[in-house]
Copies of this chain bind each other. A is one copy, B any other.
Amino acid sequence: MKNLLIAQSGGPTAAINATVAGIVSRAYESKEVDRVLGALNGIEGVLEESFIDMREKIKSREDMDLLCQTPSAALGSCRLKLKDMKDANLQIEEIIQIFRKYEITYFIYIGGNDSMDTVDKLSAYLADHHINDITVVGAPKTIDNDLEEIDHCPGFGSAAKYIGTTFLELERDCHVYATKTVTIVEVMGRNTGWLTAAASLARVNGGRGPDLIYLCEIPFCNDRFIKDVEKQLRGNDSVLIAISEGIKYSDGQYVSEQVQSNFVDAFGHSYISGAARVLEDIIRNTIGCKVRSLALSLMQRCAGHIRSTIDIKESKLLGIKACECVLQGENGKMASLIRTSNFPYKIEITAIPVHQVCNHERRVPRSYINSEGNDITDEMMQYLFPLIQGEDLEIQYKNGIPRHLTLY
Protein backbone atom coordinates (compact mmCIF):
# COMPACT_ATOMS: atom_id res chain seq x y z
CA MET A 1 0.00 0.00 0.00
CA LYS A 2 1.15 3.50 -0.78
CA ASN A 3 -0.97 5.95 1.13
CA LEU A 4 -0.99 9.73 0.97
CA LEU A 5 -1.47 11.85 4.08
CA ILE A 6 -2.52 15.51 4.05
CA ALA A 7 -2.54 17.92 6.99
CA GLN A 8 -3.14 21.64 7.43
CA SER A 9 -1.49 23.97 9.91
CA GLY A 10 -1.22 27.58 11.03
CA GLY A 11 -3.86 30.30 10.71
CA PRO A 12 -6.83 29.56 8.47
CA THR A 13 -7.38 31.26 5.09
CA ALA A 14 -10.22 31.36 2.59
CA ALA A 15 -8.15 29.39 0.07
CA ILE A 16 -6.38 26.65 2.06
CA ASN A 17 -9.06 24.07 1.26
CA ALA A 18 -8.62 24.70 -2.46
CA THR A 19 -5.08 23.36 -1.98
CA VAL A 20 -6.51 20.25 -0.33
CA ALA A 21 -8.88 19.92 -3.29
CA GLY A 22 -5.90 20.18 -5.68
CA ILE A 23 -3.97 17.47 -3.83
CA VAL A 24 -6.97 15.18 -3.55
CA SER A 25 -8.00 15.53 -7.20
CA ARG A 26 -4.44 14.77 -8.37
CA ALA A 27 -4.13 11.84 -5.95
CA TYR A 28 -7.43 10.36 -7.11
CA GLU A 29 -6.08 10.29 -10.69
CA SER A 30 -2.86 8.54 -9.70
CA LYS A 31 -2.31 4.78 -9.68
CA GLU A 32 0.57 5.34 -7.27
CA VAL A 33 -1.76 6.28 -4.43
CA ASP A 34 -3.95 3.85 -2.53
CA ARG A 35 -5.60 5.53 0.44
CA VAL A 36 -5.80 9.31 0.76
CA LEU A 37 -5.87 10.23 4.44
CA GLY A 38 -6.38 13.55 6.19
CA ALA A 39 -4.86 14.17 9.62
CA LEU A 40 -7.06 16.27 11.90
CA ASN A 41 -5.41 19.29 13.52
CA GLY A 42 -2.12 19.16 11.67
CA ILE A 43 0.92 17.41 13.03
CA GLU A 44 -0.90 17.00 16.35
CA GLY A 45 -3.40 14.79 14.56
CA VAL A 46 -0.55 12.78 13.03
CA LEU A 47 0.94 12.15 16.48
CA GLU A 48 -2.50 11.20 17.79
CA GLU A 49 -3.25 9.02 14.72
CA SER A 50 -6.38 11.03 14.20
CA PHE A 51 -7.05 10.31 10.52
CA ILE A 52 -10.02 10.44 8.18
CA ASP A 53 -10.36 8.75 4.80
CA MET A 54 -10.71 11.48 2.19
CA ARG A 55 -12.34 9.17 -0.34
CA GLU A 56 -15.26 8.75 2.08
CA LYS A 57 -15.61 12.50 2.55
CA ILE A 58 -14.96 13.83 -0.94
CA LYS A 59 -16.79 11.63 -3.40
CA SER A 60 -18.09 13.86 -6.14
CA ARG A 61 -17.33 16.93 -8.19
CA GLU A 62 -19.90 18.73 -6.04
CA ASP A 63 -18.03 17.81 -2.84
CA MET A 64 -14.82 19.09 -4.43
CA ASP A 65 -16.46 22.41 -5.41
CA LEU A 66 -17.92 22.81 -1.93
CA LEU A 67 -14.55 22.07 -0.33
CA CYS A 68 -13.02 24.80 -2.50
CA GLN A 69 -15.56 27.36 -1.30
CA THR A 70 -15.27 26.39 2.38
CA PRO A 71 -13.03 28.84 4.23
CA SER A 72 -10.70 27.96 7.09
CA ALA A 73 -8.85 24.65 7.47
CA ALA A 74 -11.37 21.88 6.81
CA LEU A 75 -8.98 19.34 8.38
CA GLY A 76 -8.41 21.56 11.40
CA SER A 77 -5.13 23.17 12.32
CA CYS A 78 -2.58 23.34 15.09
CA ARG A 79 0.18 25.61 16.31
CA LEU A 80 2.53 22.77 17.22
CA LYS A 81 6.12 23.23 16.10
CA LEU A 82 8.50 20.28 16.28
CA LYS A 83 10.75 20.74 19.25
CA ASP A 84 14.35 21.82 18.93
CA MET A 85 16.52 19.33 17.09
CA LYS A 86 17.41 16.86 19.86
CA ASP A 87 13.85 16.35 21.11
CA ALA A 88 12.60 16.77 17.58
CA ASN A 89 14.33 13.55 16.57
CA LEU A 90 12.23 11.62 19.08
CA GLN A 91 9.06 13.23 17.73
CA ILE A 92 10.14 12.60 14.15
CA GLU A 93 10.85 8.95 14.88
CA GLU A 94 7.41 8.68 16.44
CA ILE A 95 5.90 10.25 13.31
CA ILE A 96 7.82 7.85 11.04
CA GLN A 97 6.58 4.87 13.07
CA ILE A 98 3.04 6.13 12.57
CA PHE A 99 3.72 6.55 8.85
CA ARG A 100 4.92 2.93 8.75
CA LYS A 101 1.86 1.74 10.66
CA TYR A 102 -0.53 3.43 8.21
CA GLU A 103 1.68 2.70 5.17
CA ILE A 104 2.02 6.41 4.48
CA THR A 105 4.48 6.91 1.65
CA TYR A 106 3.56 10.50 0.87
CA PHE A 107 3.00 13.35 3.31
CA ILE A 108 1.98 16.87 2.32
CA TYR A 109 1.82 19.60 4.95
CA ILE A 110 -0.03 22.79 4.06
CA GLY A 111 0.97 25.85 6.05
CA GLY A 112 3.10 28.94 6.56
CA ASN A 113 6.56 29.62 8.00
CA ASP A 114 6.25 27.48 11.09
CA SER A 115 4.65 24.60 9.22
CA MET A 116 7.43 24.66 6.60
CA ASP A 117 9.87 24.26 9.49
CA THR A 118 8.13 20.95 10.27
CA VAL A 119 8.44 19.89 6.61
CA ASP A 120 12.12 20.85 6.68
CA LYS A 121 12.89 18.92 9.87
CA LEU A 122 10.97 15.83 8.74
CA SER A 123 12.44 15.77 5.23
CA ALA A 124 15.98 16.45 6.48
CA TYR A 125 15.69 13.53 8.91
CA LEU A 126 14.52 11.23 6.12
CA ALA A 127 17.42 12.31 3.91
CA ASP A 128 19.99 12.04 6.69
CA HIS A 129 18.81 8.54 7.53
CA HIS A 130 18.56 7.44 3.89
CA ILE A 131 14.87 6.69 4.22
CA ASN A 132 13.86 6.84 0.59
CA ASP A 133 10.40 5.29 0.66
CA ILE A 134 8.74 8.21 2.45
CA THR A 135 8.50 11.64 0.84
CA VAL A 136 7.53 14.83 2.66
CA VAL A 137 6.55 17.96 0.78
CA GLY A 138 5.15 21.37 1.74
CA ALA A 139 2.31 23.37 0.21
CA PRO A 140 2.32 27.06 1.06
CA LYS A 141 -0.51 29.13 2.50
CA THR A 142 -0.71 32.24 4.61
CA ILE A 143 -2.77 35.39 4.38
CA ASP A 144 0.29 37.20 5.78
CA ASN A 145 2.10 36.78 2.44
CA ASP A 146 5.39 36.59 4.28
CA LEU A 147 6.95 33.45 2.79
CA GLU A 148 10.28 33.80 0.98
CA GLU A 149 10.91 32.31 -2.45
CA ILE A 150 7.32 32.56 -3.63
CA ASP A 151 5.88 35.53 -5.51
CA HIS A 152 2.86 35.63 -3.22
CA CYS A 153 1.17 33.20 -0.87
CA PRO A 154 -2.08 31.37 -1.55
CA GLY A 155 -4.82 32.83 0.64
CA PHE A 156 -3.33 36.31 0.46
CA GLY A 157 -5.19 37.30 -2.71
CA SER A 158 -8.59 36.51 -1.22
CA ALA A 159 -7.79 38.32 2.01
CA ALA A 160 -6.52 41.27 -0.06
CA LYS A 161 -9.76 41.32 -2.05
CA TYR A 162 -11.78 41.30 1.18
CA ILE A 163 -9.65 44.09 2.63
CA GLY A 164 -9.76 46.24 -0.54
CA THR A 165 -13.52 45.82 -0.82
CA THR A 166 -14.06 46.50 2.86
CA PHE A 167 -12.02 49.72 2.72
CA LEU A 168 -14.07 50.78 -0.32
CA GLU A 169 -17.24 50.21 1.69
CA LEU A 170 -15.83 51.84 4.82
CA GLU A 171 -14.87 54.88 2.76
CA ARG A 172 -18.52 55.14 1.63
CA ASP A 173 -19.71 54.76 5.19
CA CYS A 174 -17.30 57.30 6.67
CA HIS A 175 -18.00 59.80 3.92
CA VAL A 176 -21.70 60.34 4.66
CA TYR A 177 -21.48 62.83 7.52
CA ALA A 178 -20.26 66.37 7.07
CA THR A 179 -18.38 66.32 10.38
CA LYS A 180 -14.68 65.89 11.03
CA THR A 181 -14.15 62.21 11.75
CA VAL A 182 -11.10 59.99 11.90
CA THR A 183 -11.56 56.23 11.43
CA ILE A 184 -8.60 53.96 12.22
CA VAL A 185 -8.77 50.41 10.90
CA GLU A 186 -6.44 47.73 12.20
CA VAL A 187 -5.38 45.03 9.75
CA MET A 188 -3.60 41.76 10.56
CA GLY A 189 0.18 41.65 10.23
CA ARG A 190 2.49 41.12 13.17
CA ASN A 191 5.75 41.78 11.35
CA THR A 192 4.80 42.38 7.73
CA GLY A 193 2.50 44.96 6.22
CA TRP A 194 1.29 43.12 3.10
CA LEU A 195 -2.31 42.82 4.25
CA THR A 196 -2.45 46.43 5.37
CA ALA A 197 -1.10 47.54 2.01
CA ALA A 198 -4.07 45.76 0.40
CA ALA A 199 -6.32 48.51 1.81
CA SER A 200 -5.02 50.58 -1.12
CA LEU A 201 -6.92 48.31 -3.52
CA ALA A 202 -10.03 50.34 -2.63
CA ARG A 203 -8.57 52.89 -5.06
CA VAL A 204 -8.44 50.77 -8.21
CA ASN A 205 -11.65 52.27 -9.62
CA GLY A 206 -10.71 55.85 -8.80
CA GLY A 207 -11.88 56.00 -5.18
CA ARG A 208 -9.85 57.69 -2.45
CA GLY A 209 -9.47 54.57 -0.34
CA PRO A 210 -7.56 55.02 2.90
CA ASP A 211 -6.02 58.48 3.29
CA LEU A 212 -3.08 57.16 5.27
CA ILE A 213 -1.49 53.70 5.40
CA TYR A 214 1.03 52.71 8.07
CA LEU A 215 2.85 49.40 7.68
CA CYS A 216 4.82 47.73 10.44
CA GLU A 217 8.00 47.86 8.31
CA ILE A 218 8.38 51.59 9.07
CA PRO A 219 8.99 52.71 12.69
CA PHE A 220 5.88 54.48 13.91
CA CYS A 221 6.09 57.98 15.36
CA ASN A 222 3.17 59.50 17.27
CA ASP A 223 4.10 63.11 16.42
CA ARG A 224 4.38 62.45 12.71
CA PHE A 225 1.09 60.53 12.84
CA ILE A 226 -0.72 63.46 14.48
CA LYS A 227 0.71 65.85 11.87
CA ASP A 228 -0.34 63.51 9.04
CA VAL A 229 -3.89 63.34 10.39
CA GLU A 230 -4.10 67.12 10.93
CA LYS A 231 -3.00 67.67 7.35
CA GLN A 232 -5.64 65.25 6.01
CA LEU A 233 -8.36 66.86 8.17
CA ARG A 234 -7.63 70.25 6.62
CA GLY A 235 -8.76 68.94 3.22
CA ASN A 236 -11.37 66.35 4.18
CA ASP A 237 -14.21 65.82 6.61
CA SER A 238 -13.56 62.14 6.94
CA VAL A 239 -10.10 60.61 7.26
CA LEU A 240 -9.75 56.86 6.87
CA ILE A 241 -6.54 55.23 8.10
CA ALA A 242 -5.16 51.70 7.68
CA ILE A 243 -2.60 50.41 10.16
CA SER A 244 -0.86 47.09 10.68
CA GLU A 245 -1.60 45.49 14.06
CA GLY A 246 2.15 45.15 14.53
CA ILE A 247 3.26 48.78 14.09
CA LYS A 248 6.18 49.53 16.41
CA TYR A 249 8.02 52.59 17.67
CA SER A 250 11.68 53.00 16.71
CA ASP A 251 12.76 51.42 20.02
CA GLY A 252 10.98 48.22 19.00
CA GLN A 253 8.02 48.61 21.37
CA TYR A 254 4.67 47.68 19.85
CA VAL A 255 2.19 50.57 19.71
CA SER A 256 -0.35 48.13 21.08
CA GLU A 257 1.81 47.19 24.02
CA GLN A 258 -0.12 49.17 26.59
CA VAL A 259 -3.35 47.31 25.86
CA GLN A 260 -2.20 43.88 24.75
CA SER A 261 -3.36 40.92 26.72
CA ASN A 262 0.03 39.28 27.38
CA PHE A 263 -1.31 36.15 25.75
CA VAL A 264 1.46 34.14 24.09
CA ASP A 265 0.53 31.48 21.54
CA ALA A 266 2.09 28.03 21.23
CA PHE A 267 4.75 29.32 18.83
CA GLY A 268 5.80 31.87 21.47
CA HIS A 269 4.40 34.83 19.51
CA SER A 270 2.80 37.38 21.75
CA TYR A 271 -0.82 38.13 20.98
CA ILE A 272 -0.94 41.63 19.55
CA SER A 273 -4.08 43.66 19.18
CA GLY A 274 -5.24 47.07 20.06
CA ALA A 275 -2.87 49.40 18.16
CA ALA A 276 -5.87 51.14 16.59
CA ARG A 277 -7.36 51.74 20.03
CA VAL A 278 -4.14 53.34 21.23
CA LEU A 279 -4.10 55.63 18.18
CA GLU A 280 -7.79 56.42 18.70
CA ASP A 281 -6.96 57.72 22.17
CA ILE A 282 -4.00 59.71 20.84
CA ILE A 283 -6.20 61.49 18.27
CA ARG A 284 -8.94 62.12 20.84
CA ASN A 285 -6.47 63.59 23.32
CA THR A 286 -4.62 65.75 20.79
CA ILE A 287 -6.83 66.75 17.86
CA GLY A 288 -10.05 66.14 19.78
CA CYS A 289 -12.34 65.40 16.81
CA LYS A 290 -14.68 62.44 16.55
CA VAL A 291 -12.53 59.34 16.23
CA ARG A 292 -13.21 55.62 16.21
CA SER A 293 -11.17 52.48 15.77
CA LEU A 294 -12.07 49.09 14.45
CA ALA A 295 -10.30 45.88 13.52
CA LEU A 296 -10.89 43.56 10.59
CA SER A 297 -9.97 40.78 12.98
CA LEU A 298 -10.77 37.16 12.06
CA MET A 299 -13.12 38.22 9.25
CA GLN A 300 -10.21 39.07 6.96
CA ARG A 301 -8.92 35.52 7.00
CA CYS A 302 -12.18 33.58 6.83
CA ALA A 303 -14.42 35.65 4.52
CA GLY A 304 -14.97 32.82 2.06
CA HIS A 305 -17.93 34.63 0.52
CA ILE A 306 -15.63 37.10 -1.25
CA ARG A 307 -12.63 35.39 -2.73
CA SER A 308 -10.26 36.06 -5.58
CA THR A 309 -10.70 33.60 -8.46
CA ILE A 310 -6.99 33.88 -9.24
CA ASP A 311 -6.15 32.98 -5.65
CA ILE A 312 -8.44 29.96 -5.57
CA LYS A 313 -7.10 28.69 -8.92
CA GLU A 314 -3.48 29.13 -7.85
CA SER A 315 -4.13 27.50 -4.47
CA LYS A 316 -5.54 24.48 -6.25
CA LEU A 317 -2.63 24.37 -8.74
CA LEU A 318 -0.14 24.47 -5.86
CA GLY A 319 -1.95 21.51 -4.31
CA ILE A 320 -1.65 19.61 -7.59
CA LYS A 321 2.04 20.53 -7.78
CA ALA A 322 2.68 19.42 -4.19
CA CYS A 323 1.02 16.10 -5.01
CA GLU A 324 3.22 15.67 -8.09
CA CYS A 325 6.29 16.43 -5.99
CA VAL A 326 5.54 13.66 -3.47
CA LEU A 327 4.71 11.22 -6.25
CA GLN A 328 8.08 11.97 -7.84
CA GLY A 329 9.92 11.59 -4.55
CA GLU A 330 10.98 15.22 -4.34
CA ASN A 331 11.52 15.11 -0.61
CA GLY A 332 11.88 18.47 1.16
CA LYS A 333 10.37 20.57 -1.59
CA MET A 334 7.67 23.21 -1.31
CA ALA A 335 5.32 23.97 -4.23
CA SER A 336 5.87 27.58 -5.23
CA LEU A 337 5.06 30.13 -7.89
CA ILE A 338 7.04 32.66 -9.88
CA ARG A 339 5.49 35.69 -11.55
CA THR A 340 6.85 35.85 -15.08
CA SER A 341 4.82 38.86 -16.24
CA ASN A 342 2.72 41.57 -14.62
CA PHE A 343 0.79 42.80 -17.68
CA PRO A 344 -0.57 40.37 -18.70
CA TYR A 345 -0.29 38.58 -15.38
CA LYS A 346 1.45 35.23 -15.82
CA ILE A 347 2.83 32.78 -13.32
CA GLU A 348 4.79 29.54 -13.38
CA ILE A 349 4.20 26.80 -10.86
CA THR A 350 7.47 25.43 -9.55
CA ALA A 351 9.01 23.72 -6.53
CA ILE A 352 11.82 24.91 -4.30
CA PRO A 353 13.81 23.46 -1.37
CA VAL A 354 11.74 24.14 1.74
CA HIS A 355 14.80 25.11 3.82
CA GLN A 356 14.97 28.30 1.74
CA VAL A 357 11.53 29.21 3.08
CA CYS A 358 11.14 28.06 6.63
CA ASN A 359 11.85 30.44 9.50
CA HIS A 360 12.33 33.38 7.15
CA GLU A 361 9.88 36.26 6.87
CA ARG A 362 9.54 38.32 3.73
CA ARG A 363 8.90 41.92 4.67
CA VAL A 364 7.55 44.66 2.40
CA PRO A 365 10.47 46.20 0.40
CA ARG A 366 11.17 49.88 1.13
CA SER A 367 10.41 50.75 -2.51
CA TYR A 368 6.81 49.58 -2.01
CA ILE A 369 6.29 52.26 0.66
CA ASN A 370 6.30 56.02 -0.03
CA SER A 371 9.11 58.20 1.27
CA GLU A 372 6.95 59.69 4.06
CA GLY A 373 6.15 56.18 5.27
CA ASN A 374 2.41 56.87 5.29
CA ASP A 375 1.26 55.24 2.06
CA ILE A 376 2.25 52.67 -0.56
CA THR A 377 3.81 53.27 -3.99
CA ASP A 378 2.72 52.35 -7.52
CA GLU A 379 5.17 49.47 -7.38
CA MET A 380 3.16 47.92 -4.55
CA MET A 381 -0.09 48.53 -6.45
CA GLN A 382 1.29 46.74 -9.52
CA TYR A 383 2.28 43.85 -7.31
CA LEU A 384 -1.13 43.61 -5.60
CA PHE A 385 -3.49 44.33 -8.47
CA PRO A 386 -3.45 40.96 -10.32
CA LEU A 387 -3.92 38.97 -7.11
CA ILE A 388 -7.52 40.05 -6.45
CA GLN A 389 -8.88 39.58 -9.95
CA GLY A 390 -11.94 37.49 -10.64
CA GLU A 391 -15.05 36.87 -8.62
CA ASP A 392 -16.53 33.60 -7.55
CA LEU A 393 -19.92 34.38 -8.94
CA GLU A 394 -20.79 30.72 -8.93
CA ILE A 395 -20.41 30.40 -5.20
CA GLN A 396 -23.20 28.16 -3.95
CA TYR A 397 -25.67 29.48 -1.40
CA LYS A 398 -28.42 27.58 0.35
CA ASN A 399 -31.15 29.17 2.47
CA GLY A 400 -29.46 32.54 2.10
CA ILE A 401 -25.96 31.69 3.38
CA PRO A 402 -22.99 30.04 1.63
CA ARG A 403 -22.73 26.25 1.55
CA HIS A 404 -19.67 24.68 3.18
CA LEU A 405 -18.30 21.15 3.28
CA THR A 406 -17.63 19.69 6.72
CA LEU A 407 -14.99 16.98 6.89
CA TYR A 408 -15.21 16.18 10.61
Interface string of A203-228 (1 = CB under 8 A from B): 01101000000000000000000000
CA distance A385 to B399 in the complex (A): 8
Whole-angstrom distance between the alpha carbons of A391 and B392 in the complex?
13
Interchain Cβ contacts under 8 Å between A and B, 25 examples: A8-B176, A41-B178, A44-B178, A71-B172, A72-B172, A72-B173, A72-B175, A78-B177, A165-B402, A166-B299, A166-B303, A169-B299, A169-B302, A173-B298, A201-B401, A202-B401, A204-B398, A261-B280, A261-B284, A263-B290, A273-B292, A294-B295, A305-B306, A306-B306, A389-B399
Q: Please tell me if the beta carbons of A175 and B404 are within 8 angstroms of each other in the complex.
A: no
Q: Is A79 in the interface zone, CB < 8 Å from B?
A: yes
Contact assessment for A201 and B385 in the assembled complex, using a CB-CB cutoff below 8 Å: no
This protein's copies in its complex: 2
Cβ–Cβ contact A299 & B401, under 8 A? no
A85 within 8 A of B: no
Closest B residue to A177 using CB positions: B77
B173 x A12 contact (CB < 8 A): yes
A164 to B305, CA, bound (A): 12
B404 touches A388 (CB 8 A): no
User: Is there contact, CB below 8 Å, between B168 and A402?
Assistant: yes
Q: What per-residue 1/0 map shows which CB atoms of A164-196 lie under 8 Å from chain B?
A: 111011101111111000010000000000000
Q: A204 near B401 (CB under 8 angstroms)?
A: yes
* Cβ distance A119 to chain B, nearest Cβ, rounded Å: 19
A317 and B255 CA atoms in complex are apart in Å by 49
Closest to A310 in B: B400
Determine how close the nearest CB of chain B comes to the CB of A141; give it in whole angstroms: 13
Instruction: Flag whether A397 is at the interface (Cβ < 8 A).
Output: yes
**A14-47 at interface with B (beta carbon < 8 Å):** 40-41, 44
A296 to chain B, nearest CB (A): 8
For A391, what are the chain B residues with a Cβ–Cβ distance below 8 Å? 397, 400
Residues of B contacting A284 in the complex (Cβ-Cβ under 8 angstroms):
261
Instruction: For A301, give the chain B residue with the smallest CB separation.
Output: B173
Which chain B residues lie closer than 8 Å to A295 at the CB level?
Answer: 294-295, 297
How near does chain B come to A248, taking the closest CB pair, in angstroms? Answer: 21
Residue of B nearest to A170 (CB): B298
Contact of A169 among B292, B305, B388 (CB under 8 A): B305
Q: Knowing that A73-B176, A308-B400 are A-B contacts, what are 6 other residue pairs whose CB atoms are under 8 Å apart, sorted by A's residue number?
A: A8-B176, A72-B172, A169-B305, A205-B398, A207-B404, A385-B400
